Amino acid sequence: PPGHQRLPLPNPLTERSSPNMDPAEQLDLEQVKIALGNQGVAIGKHEQTLQQILAQLRDLTTILSQNLLQPIQPAPLGPAPPQVEELMTPGGVEPSLPTPVRYGGQPGGCRGFLLQCSLSECAKVAYIISLLSGRALAWATPVWENQPAVCATATLFAAALSWSFDLPARGEEAGTCLLNLHQHGRSVSDYAIEFCTLSAESGWNSSALVSAFHHGLSEDLKDELAHRDCPASLDDLIELTQKIDHCLRERRRRGCTGRVRGPRDQPSAGGSSLASKKQPDHGDRPVQLGHTRLPRQEREARMREGRCIYCGLVGHQRVTCPDLAAKSQHLLGEEGPLTDRPGPLTDRPGPP
């Protein structure tokens, strides 16, 4: 109320306890004082630790700033590289090189950076050996241990490796391989890949390569090519045989038989009916229309010598063979209508 003075409350932490205070309350007050004192000590220690950490961070920041601003000095060029004997160690061959420090474009530091990125000849050889396996690794191990001259440079080591394992057929050897190469059951594409690989090392001309490629084809393809004009270039021959081989394989897959028709197999307007008729056996020529075919050796010999495949004579081909034309006319006469044929001998006009 107005006019009355407020009396301050006693502070139990600073003022001494009254003699009339309960002993239990006095004990609690002492425990509170002890707890507050311990907290004050702990807070002081924490503050001291934080000050030390801040001081260390300031020192680290200063050191990093000085290192970043200081230009990188180029590494001094060392003496001549040691002898090969000192480089060759029979230990592991895995190259282990420290990663150079990143180059940020500082003047004068480019040369040293490039020097640190360069590989020695020993490291190059060791890297090549680390990629070998099997027989190549078994060969390289004693070479690395006992022949330091071969491992002096990567060029010498690569030459020794090529001499030991890179053995392609060249020259006469490649030509012999071409003569002995055959298609067998492979596709023309697989046969052509191996043939072209050997032909690049043989040095043969185009005509010889065409003959060798034709010689190695399967008998079915040779039979198909016999009814076509053989291309003069190897590329054209490979392309043609690939198409024929694809057709033959497709027919076998579907269970069909027969020969692949080519441009020369198309019947003419006047002879279309003749091709569909069965032609009887007349005479004893090697080739009978509709009957047994000429042996392959004889057919190839006639083609090589420029003789007619049908009659075996020179001066013409099968298309213009007079014997074949006469036989065709004879067959047309036999198959013609009865009114076109001559009657009995009594019906024929006699001599005047």
- The C-alpha angle 262, 265, 270, rounded to 5 degrees, equals 145
Using CA atoms, how far apart are residues 314 and 298, in angstroms rounded to an integer? 14
Of the ranges 21-25, 118-122, 325-329, the best mean pLDDT one = 118-122
Answer with the residue of higher pLDDT: 282 or 175: 175
Q: What is the pLDDT of residue 328?
A: 64
Using CA atoms, how far apart are residues 59 and 167, in angstroms rounded to an integer? 66
Closest CA relative to residue 108, chosen from 144, 138, 76, 61:
76
CB atoms within 10 A of CB 213: 22
H or E element at residue 138: helix 134-146
pTM of the model: 0.35
**Residue that is written with structure tokens 């700033």 in the block:** 65
Helical packing angle, 188-202 and 234-254, nearest 10°: 160
Where residue 259 falls among pLDDT bands split at 50, 70, 90? low
What are the tokens at 36? Answer: 């507050």
User: b/e for 233-250, b at 16 or more Cβ within 10 A?
Assistant: ebeebbebbbebbeebee
pLDDT tens-digit readout, 69-115:
665 555 555 554 444 444 444 444 455 566 777 878 877 778 777 87
Q: What is the pLDDT of residue 19?
A: 58
**Residue that is written with structure tokens 């043969």 in the block:** 204
The DSSP output letter for 2 is: T
Where residue 285 falls among pLDDT bands split at 50, 70, 90? very low
What are the tokens at 38? Answer: 């311990």
Of the ranges 4-8, 9-13, 265-269, 316-320, the best mean pLDDT one = 316-320
**Cβ-proximal residues to 255 (8 Å cutoff; 6+ apart), any chain:** none
138 pLDDT more than 80:
yes
Average confidence score pLDDT of the chain: 73
Q: What is the pLDDT of residue 239?
A: 93
The answer to whether residues 211 and 245 touch, using CB atoms and an 8 Å cutoff, is: no
What are the tokens at 111? Answer: 């040369």
What are the tokens at 93? Answer: 């061959």
243 pLDDT more than 80:
yes
Q: List the single range of 28-32, 94-98, 284-288 with lowest mean pLDDT.
A: 284-288
